[in-house]
Amino acid sequence: MINAPDNQEGSSNARQRMARRGTARGEWIGGRGRTARLGVTGCLALLLIGCNAVGRTDSHGWVVTGIAPVQWPADTVAPVAIPLSPAWDVPDVLAARITFDDRPARKAVVQCERMHGTGDRHAWVMMHVEPEERGQHVTIELLPDLEQVVQPIYALNYDGRSLHVRDDLGRPALTYVHGTPLADAPYPFTSYFHPIFGLDGEILTDVYPADHRHHRGLFCAWVRHEHEGTSLGSWWQPRSGGVRSVPEELTFHSGPVFARFHSRHWLVHRAADSGDEARFLQDDVICRLYPATESGRAIDIEIALLASMPGIRLGGTTDEGKGYGGLTFRFAPADDVEIRTDGTLLDDDGINHRAHWADWSGTFKTPEGQAGVKPSGAAILVHPGHPDYPTEWLLRHYGILNVSFPGVAMLDISTDDPLILRYRLWVHRGDARAGRVEAQGFAYSADWQWRVAPTEGAGNGASRSTSDRS
């Protein structure tokens, strides 16, 4: 089932409906054609503009308070999630007034989302913290009256097999393969990202490479699947019969802070004796793309796994104790390759290497297929709430970043509570240092110590605290 309300690429009627619903990016920040070129100053102009009040200025908004992380990196803009009370009936897009202790208020546009698996609602904002604001209390008042006209930051178009995402200048950001696998493909793969583009149009991912024909862009798969101790096969490198993936739902939309899509696939096992097929795992992918700055673009990827029968377990390979399996980025060929983890340059490949984040950079071919002259790359940042954090990694200079989870151990998958694995992809110019990967890693893991405050007219929910990170 495909559900693409109000956001088919090239549809003027759809854009008008989005503007009425408030699910898009604002004319008030300078109109179309600026997002992809923004640096820190430009991103502040985009989403943190001015000091005047916006919307209602009385006490009828919704208030969340927190403490700005003392480790927030200088000159860094990053997406931050603000928790909302379940008692609040807030619109999908609204204005916010952000005030630090002794600083003038600034206004922003925020976009809300109901988090998969928990049902909690969060409001996302592109956040910037001045050095003197670190450690200060911050008050965010969400105001229901959005005075500005807003438009989407990305255009999304589904062609029946793949979802294509382009920025507001029409430049490609990524493609997600959702539909039925191609009949002539080396393997019957679906549910993967390829191509993922750098900020200058270079293709960062590879698919079906000669050295590992089962690699496909950015994907999430495991080597071992079991039901009550019996092997079901592999979706990492599927053989005839065994495990296959069946596409189901795909929904997508774009707003002023992020574009989002949610896909669902079922892993299905075919019995060797009878040929009967049975679903055993619901596999959901949730992806959010945020506005690009001069140095990079943040892309959140969440994997949600729910067993459809008791006794389902997943695991990585036991070959040489490597434990690979899980989220994997296969890079396109590049020159002058560097791998860095937590800021440290690796001279050799890594197996069972523990780190909070890993980055792979090099000089890729230009969009025209010519030899490149400038390095670029991508990092995978692991959410602090991830199991076994900091995780183990498999790292290969020929083109692999793999979050090796759960590794050689088998992991039980619940039939009631989905396992949710959260990551942030940071696509950047330059190597890891020039691309400010470490700064983005700090921002992703920062704890704002949010506290939802009761506000007159905003519902009767009691004040509650949360240490949810962005």
Q: What is the CATH number of the domain that holds 188?
A: 2.70.98
Q: Name the percent of the chain lying above pLDDT 70.
A: 83
Residues 252, 331 share a domain: yes
In-domain check, residue 470: no
**Residue 392 is assigned to a structural domain of this protein:** yes
**Are 421 and 400 members of one domain?**
yes
Q: Is residue 197 one of the residues assigned to a domain?
A: yes
Same-domain pairing of 81 and 212: no
With contact defined as beta carbons under 8 Å apart, do 253 and 223 qualify? no
**94 shares a domain with 32:** yes
The whole-number pLDDT of residue 466 equals 59
pLDDT tens track for 98-115: 999 989 999 999 999 998
Strand order in the sheet with 335-341: 2-3, 242-254, 259-270, 277-289, 296-307, 419-429, 376-382, 357-363, 335-341, 344-346
Confidence of residue 20 (pLDDT cuts 50, 70, 90): very low
The answer to whether residue 175 sits within a structural domain is yes
With tokens 């495990």, the residue in question is 243
Query: Is residue 373 scored above 60 in pLDDT?
Result: yes
Confidence check: pLDDT of 233 > 50: yes
What's the one-letter identity of residue 444? Answer: Y
Residue 45 CA to residue 147 CA, distance in Å, equals 16
What would the pLDDT profile of 43-90 be if each residue is shown by its tens digit? 443 444 333 333 333 445 799 999 999 999 999 999 999 999 998 999
Shared-domain flag, residues 83 and 210 = no
**Does 83 reside within a domain?**
yes
Same domain, 329 and 432: yes
Question: 127 and 258: one domain?
Answer: no
**Is residue 364 one of the residues assigned to a domain?**
yes
Considering the domain architecture, whether residues 441 and 453 belong to the same structural domain is answered as no
Judgement on whether residues 110 and 181 belong to the same structural domain of the protein: no
State yes or no: pLDDT of 258 exceeds 50: yes
Q: Which domain holds residue 92?
A: 2-150+448-465
pLDDT at residue 60, as a whole number: 59
pLDDT value for 96: 94
Strands 224-227 and 218-221: unpaired
Mean pLDDT rounded to a whole number for the chain = 85
Q: Rounded mean pLDDT of 411-436?
A: 97
Alpha carbon 372 to its chain centroid, in Å, reads: 27
| Count of domains for the chain | 2
Give percent of the chain above pLDDT 90.
Answer: 69
Q: Could you tell me if 347 and 237 lie in one domain?
A: yes
| Co-location of 321 and 269 in the same domain | yes
Examine the domain organization and report whether 309 and 193 are in the same domain. yes
